[in-house]
Amino acid sequence: MTIAYIAVTLLAAAMVGFSAVVLYRGVDWIAHSMEIYGVPRSWWPWLSAAKAAGALGLLVGLFVPAIGAAAGIGLVLYFIGAEITVLRARRYSHIPAPLLYLAPVAASLWLGSAV
């Protein structure tokens, strides 16, 4: 179980970290989506920082489980909020996007509680 926890946590941290960098840099495909969803551009650096902190928290959680749990819970809430944002924008074809990030974070949180 420990190897699975480490592997899933590293994958989740990498995915969320990538998402943070892409949003911070305002890459076209994510910027276009964020504009469609109605997320103000002034929020993007804060959302990016939240994701980066969550990714770092997952990594630290490998050594300090309480930090990992807090980061995991925060990221799960973040991506639930992202899913709500997609639904409110009525972009139903985009529903899977936040779930792709939510799934490994939730798995990491679940595996971490089992270790």
The alpha carbon torsion through 23, 25, 26, 28 (nearest 10 deg) reads: -110
Tell me the C-alpha to C-alpha distance, in Å, between residue 90 and each of 2, 23, 75, 85: 40, 21, 23, 9
Q: In the chain, what are the domain boundaries?
A: 2-114
For residue 114, name the pLDDT band (cuts at 50, 70, 90). confident
Q: How many CA atoms lie within 13 A of 83 on its CB side?
A: 14
| Contact by Cβ (8 Å): 65, 34 | no
Q: Residues 1-51: pLDDT tens digits?
A: 699 999 999 999 999 999 999 999 999 999 999 999 999 999 999 999 999
Q: What is the DSSP letter of 27?
A: -
Q: Residues 70-113: pLDDT tens digits?
A: 999 999 999 999 999 999 999 999 999 999 999 999 999 999 98
Count helices and strands in the chain by DSSP H and E runs: 5, 0
pTM of this structure: 0.92
Q: Show the tokens assigned to 60.
A: 């630290």
